[in-house]
């Protein structure tokens, strides 16, 4: 009997629904999505491109057996599940959705962790929607590293981070000037002040500027499987 209980407990620890993979995402309305890119390639084109990012992320991560893919979306009035039903109909019902809440992005991030924690997830891996080339291996690595850390960060080249994972909703966000080159540095300082153990993953780049997009395009020419929908869309627009 004890062996059966032990096996059951071990199974519970690695249960499909113990880990939430949260993507912070927007509804891609032209003029309100990827605005820095929009100034160069046009607002509608930027929104269409961002939609391709979302398709790639959904198709890559929704089928993973050990994670529940959750979308923390904005604006709150949007029916994001209905939108995803149009984009990726085969996966829409297996994903979860909740609106971003809070006056600033710091609060929205913290509240996303609070939401998953309140819904029973023992660990949460949160990523942005600006890196359609983020791999399954990166998520698996983050989850593995989280075994021996309170906080896991995936540093972005611009001084921010593309991933943050935690067991609990620790507030490592308050007072940090988001969208600046010191976000990662200040987040590390905040975690240290709270005596939290932090581990870091490999550096990745986000897609914010046209130079980032050009770099992604070259990456996808070599390996379109990294982000097939994005690769197909980039082939239809001029960015060089």
| Average pLDDT rounded to a whole number, residues 194-215 | 96
Confidence of residue 240 (pLDDT cuts 50, 70, 90): confident
| Average pLDDT rounded to a whole number, residues 29-57 | 96
Strands 151-155 and 198-200: parallel
Answer whether residue 16 is part of any domain: yes
Q: What is the CATH number of the domain that holds 20?
A: 3.90.550.10
Answer whether residue 240 is part of any domain: no
Residue 9 has pLDDT above 50, yes or no: no
What's the total number of domains in the chain? 1
Confidence of residue 15 (pLDDT cuts 50, 70, 90): very low
DSSP states along 101-151: -SSSHHHHHHHHHHHHHHTT-SEEEEEESS-TT--HHHHHHHHHHGGG-SE
Q: What is the per-residue pLDDT across 230-239, written as a single tens digit (0 to 9) for each? A: 999 999 998 8
Domain that holds residue 137: 2-234
Answer whether residue 23 is part of any domain: yes
CB atoms within 10 A of CB 190: 19
Residue 172 is encoded by which pair of tokens? 């490592």
| Average pLDDT rounded to a whole number, residues 107-122 | 98
* Eight-class DSSP state of 204: B
Answer whether residue 181 is part of any domain: yes
Residue 57 has pLDDT above 70, yes or no: yes
Answer whether residue 176 is part of any domain: yes
Residue 6 has pLDDT above 90, yes or no: no
Q: Which is it for the CA torsion 189, 194, 197, 201, positive or negative?
A: negative
Answer whether residue 119 is part of any domain: yes
* Distance between CA atoms of residues 36 and 33, nearest Å: 9
76/2: higher pLDDT: 76
Confidence of residue 17 (pLDDT cuts 50, 70, 90): low
Residue 3 has pLDDT above 80, yes or no: no
User: What per-residue confidence (pLDDT) applies to 14?
Assistant: 38
Answer whether residue 153 is part of any domain: yes
Residue 85 has pLDDT above 80, yes or no: yes
* Eight-class DSSP state of 203: -
Preceding peptide of 75 cis, ω within 30°: yes
Determine whether 232 is exposed, middle or buried from the number of CB atoms within 10 Å of its CB (0-12, 13-18, 19+).
middle
């Amino acid at each position: 009997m004890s062996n059966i209980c032990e096996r059951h407990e071990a199974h519970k620890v690695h249960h499909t629904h113990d880990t939430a993979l949260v993507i912070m995402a927007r509804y891609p309305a032209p003029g309100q999505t990827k605005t820095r890119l929009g100034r160069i390639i046009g607002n509608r084109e930027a929104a269409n491109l961002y939609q391709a990012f979302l398709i790639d992320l959904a198709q890559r991560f929704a089928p993973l057996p050990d994670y529940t893919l959750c979308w923390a979306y904005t604006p709150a009035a949007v029916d994001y599940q209905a939108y995803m039903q149009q984009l990726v109909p085969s996966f829409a019902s297996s994903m979860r959705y909740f609106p971003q809440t809070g006056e600033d992005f710091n609060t929205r991030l913290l509240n996303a962790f609070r939401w998953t924690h309140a819904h029973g997830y023992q660990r949460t891996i949160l990523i942005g929607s600006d890196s359609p080339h983020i791999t399954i291996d990166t998520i698996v690595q983050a989850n593995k590293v989280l075994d021996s850390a309170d906080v896991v960060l995936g540093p972005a080249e611009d001084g921010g981070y593309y991933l943050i994972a935690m067991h609990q909703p620790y507030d490592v966000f308050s007072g940090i000037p988001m969208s600046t080159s010191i976000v990662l540095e200040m987040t590390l300082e905040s975690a240290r002040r709270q005596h939290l153990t932090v581990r870091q993953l490999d550096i990745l780049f986000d897609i914010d500027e046209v130079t980032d997009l050009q770099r992604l395009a070259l990456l996808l020419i070599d390996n379109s499987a990294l982000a097939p929908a994005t690769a197909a869309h980039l082939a239809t627009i001029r960015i060089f």
